[in-house]
Amino acid sequence: MLQKLKKELKKHSSPEKAKIYARFFKTGKGEYGEGDVFLGLTVPEQRMLAQKYADLGLNGIKELLNSKYHEHRLTGLLILVYKYQKAKGAEKKNIIDFYLKHKHRGNNWDLIDCVADKLLGKWLIDKDKSILYELAKSDSLWDRRIAIITTFEFIKNNKFKDTKKIAEIFLNDKHDLIHKAVGWMLREIGKRDEKELIGFLDKHYKKMPRTMLRYAVERLDEKRRKEYVAGKL
């Protein structure tokens, strides 16, 4: 099954798109995606193949995650999501344990954003969340992004506490990819409860990195948005 999937991934590849993705995902020397290699598949193509091969075992997924090809890793993670959605009981925990053991192979922002909330977020929604705070304090950029993106599942269930706490931890983070992720999650809170967002902004907007703030206020009315960005409130 694994070899068939790899053949299909290769069949859908596009050298032209691969070059574009390599630039988009910052694969140059010293950039956050340095050395990553692309086949040139779209995400919808990978989702289609992940659904088709959703019965692939964890050993096969592990091989995909260890691949040099970005699309192999993303497809493997998408398969893991589909497996989790069908799993029951102890099988769900096995999948989460597998994800956490191999999370370092989700080494670009899309490899986190497509799966963290759907795996770790679903799992932790009614459980102790201390692992998120461990990830939030990690030296790994990708661990830190997992920590905040995981909380998207909580936000979708109108639970905002952990998102706000982790956002506070990241007020002094130096990386733009964290600023964008936090701003995005705060904006998602605002979509559901603008008062919650305003309360956070009023407390922290003067300390927030500019990118984080701009993402967070995108859906506010124009006057208030401009006041926050200008620091006039």
| One domain for residues 232 and 137 | yes
| Total tally of structural domains belonging to the chain | 2
Domain end point (choices 108, 142, 163):
108
CATH code assigned at 207:
1.25.10.90
Cα distance between residue 48 and residue 117, in whole Å = 20
Place of tokens 């050298």: 15
Residue 189: which domain range?
115-233
Domain end point (choices 85, 108, 131):
108
Question: For residue 55, how many C-alpha atoms fall within 13 Å in the half-sphere facing its CB?
Answer: 3
From the CA atom positions of the chain, what is the Rg in Å?
A: 19
Both tokens of residue 150? 């995981």
- Terminal C-alpha separation, the chain: 59
| One domain for residues 36 and 77 | yes
| One domain for residues 90 and 119 | no
Tens-level pLDDT at each residue, the chain (233 residues): 999 999 999 999 999 999 999 998 888 888 888 889 999 999 999 999 999 999 999 999 999 999 999 999 999 999 999 999 999 989 999 999 999 999 999 999 999 999 999 999 999 999 999 999 999 999 999 999 999 999 999 999 999 999 999 999 999 999 999 999 999 999 999 999 999 999 999 999 999 999 999 999 999 999 899 889 887 55
Cα distance between residue 173 and residue 144, in whole Å = 10
Q: What is the pTM of this model?
A: 0.92
Domain end point (choices 108, 130, 145):
108
| One domain for residues 120 and 81 | no
| One domain for residues 133 and 230 | yes
